[in-house]
A and B are shown apart, each in its own frame.
Chain A
């Protein structure tokens, strides 16, 4: 097999059967060298199975895994050269921080002096030099996390994989570790695969994301693509909040289609490809923060997707305000506003006009 330039890891038709009802795959994707790649999905979507297949803890029923063009799936786990940081860190409780990090080096029969040097170097990198003699039980969650990363990194694996590494940390620490993780990966240029169910984490960290559901890949793309142009209804609903309106295409024009929702709302949508023909049933996606809310009488015409509406409830979220809106046709929409300026004045029962920019609307196949 020729090594494909720039492709570090190649997953081809990975399939794992658990029972006739529960199957993961076939899953195929490629991870580029130096890339931060996330597998994102709800629990049970197959993301952890995929990771465990790469690490060798699960055997494939079909498909292939290649690391730099070389078959990986027929090797035992201890010969794979892929680092894995576990969700609960899996530090060895009977070994000190130093010995935890030195564990893999000792197995490789590396000279004592070199082990001391390499462990010292990596502990400095993760800022744990002063804690080398401590035991895992004496460390905070964030410190344990860094030991787990150091323990994998010191072996200089070809890829570094993370299984929900931040889920056991509290909110503030999670944000801090997330940023540290990202800067560490950028500095080292290490190819990373990151498994998470947290879309914010995936969006913040990743170069590319694969969204999984029910053992299948729904979409692979950059954070921007995943959020702005979700390929499926599932992706639209899983990433961020969304208004999804069932609708039918009634007219097609140059770069634009007109749809009517099941509540009789006529919407113009900008499209940048081939649209489906008229009569096709679709779902219209509007992100709540793209719903523009204006005082009545100020805004434009129905041609510009401007509709009268009424505020139903205002939910105070601190940084943001969430507004539930009811259009005169009975259509319900959710809007989100920053908690600043005039947005603070919206109150329930207030009549408003809402404006939906055609460029902010996406059509999704059902």
Chain B
């Protein structure tokens, strides 16, 4: 029995002296706790959701013990197809806008001196430090019918516009929160590009656009891809922002799942939507990874 800590230490020292034979349990000990956490709190529930999605819906109990693909077949409905199409479209628009806004920001941050860079980084991740509800309330104040935007328009004699509770508002809200997820990987990628490469391009006759297009863009592509994947996958599964800022009739997938779980209690249908969303996200990630790997390999062997 080893209760004395000194003795326990002695034992572990001996074990370390044992060499490579003991190397196996080390990684297990390092990754084990989180692996268990994921297993019981993510994999098992997800498997459960997947199981629900192939069971028949029953109004009286959670699901009938009867296997069916009806829940998936139903997604072919125009209603659900539109739901998915709108979700993917909003995700795409959000990602593109994040990339367009994120590139100049990321470039500036990557090339800034340490002090401005620290301040810029702080401002960039500010939205993440504010609770979603407070942040969205702020947007409601700005975009609402009598909000700042419309008051400004009225002041110059223009008609008020309907911004809040529209796709535009959802995209504004999503870009606001998710911009850091685009800008940070981009910044890391651009930081790794020596600035002498830009100077070399300029010296060889490239103007700033050509320098961006031929040097910065291709060399920061890994950052752009990981940023885009991040922003796209969290955008298409967004719930709070579309629920509070979007049109209640034109929803995104996560809102539909929420309603089917908590309002209509159709867990099998909600599960099939959830599984489809996860599947779409994974497909997207793998195809993006495949394309980049292939591009990198082509580059090396060309």
Contacts and interface: CB of A to CB of B under 8 A. Distances in A.
Grouping DSSP codes into helix (H, G, I), strand (E, B) and loop, the B interface class, with mixed when no group exceeds half, is: helix
B194 A155 contact: no
Interface string B215-252: 10011000000000000000000000000000000000
Interface in B179-205: 194, 196-197, 199-205
A79 B210 CA distance: 13
A348 B199 CA distance: 55
Nearest to B203: A84
B117 interface: no
Contact of A84 (B200, B215, B219): B200
B253 to A, nearest CB: 37
Contacts of B299: 94, 135
Contacts of A103: 201, 204, 206, 214
A96 interface: yes
A143 interface: no
A87 B205 CA distance: 19
Interface in A68-109: 76-80, 82-84, 86-88, 90-94, 96, 103-104, 107-108
Contacts of A108: 205
**Chain B CB within 10 Å, residue with most, of A57, A78, A91, A151:** A78
B207 interface: yes
B199 A55 contact: yes
Nearest to B200: A90
Contacts of B203: 55, 77-78, 80, 82-84, 152
A220 B100 CA distance: 51
A107 B205 contact: yes
Contacts of A17: none
B126 to A, nearest CB: 33
Contacts of A107: 204-206, 210
B300 interface: yes
B302 interface: yes
A133 interface: yes
Contacts of B218: 94
A90 B299 CA distance: 19
B198 to A, nearest CB: 9
B302 A133 contact: yes
Contacts of A84: 199-200, 203
A152 to B, nearest CB: 7
Interface string A35-67: 000000000000000000001110000000000
A357 to B, nearest CB: 49
B205 A104 contact: yes
Interface residues of B, number: 20
Nearest to B197: A90
B46 to A, nearest CB: 39
Contacts of B201: 92, 103
Contacts of A55: 199, 203
A86 B204 contact: no
A91 B200 CA distance: 8
Nearest to B204: A104
A82 B202 CA distance: 11
B200 A86 contact: yes
B196 A94 contact: no
Given A86-B196, A133-B302, A94 B219 contact: yes
Nearest to A96: B302
A77 B219 contact: no
B196 A78 contact: no
Contacts of A87: 196
A77 B199 contact: yes
Contacts of A83: 203
Contacts of B196: 86-88, 90
A78 B197 contact: no
A84 B204 CA distance: 8
Contacts of A57: 199, 202
A86 B199 contact: yes
Interface string B78-116: 000000000000000000000000000000000000000
A87 B215 CA distance: 19
A152 B203 CA distance: 9
A86 B200 CA distance: 8
Contacts of A92: 197, 200-201, 215
Interface string A142-184: 0000000001100100000000000000000000000000000
A29 B244 CA distance: 69
B176 to A, nearest CB: 33
A151 B204 contact: yes
Given A92-B197, A94-B219, A78 B205 contact: yes
18 contacts: A55-B203, A56-B202, A57-B199, A77-B199, A77-B203, A78-B207, A80-B203, A84-B199, A87-B196, A88-B196, A90-B197, A92-B197, A92-B200, A92-B201, A93-B219, A107-B205, A107-B206, A107-B210
The 6 A-B pairs at the shortest CB distance, nearest first, are namely A104-B204, A90-B200, A90-B196, A77-B202, A84-B203, A107-B205
Given A55-B203, A88-B196, A155-B204, 19 more contacts: A57-B199, A76-B207, A77-B203, A78-B203, A78-B207, A80-B203, A86-B200, A87-B196, A90-B197, A90-B199, A90-B200, A92-B197, A92-B201, A93-B219, A94-B299, A108-B205, A133-B302, A135-B299, A135-B300
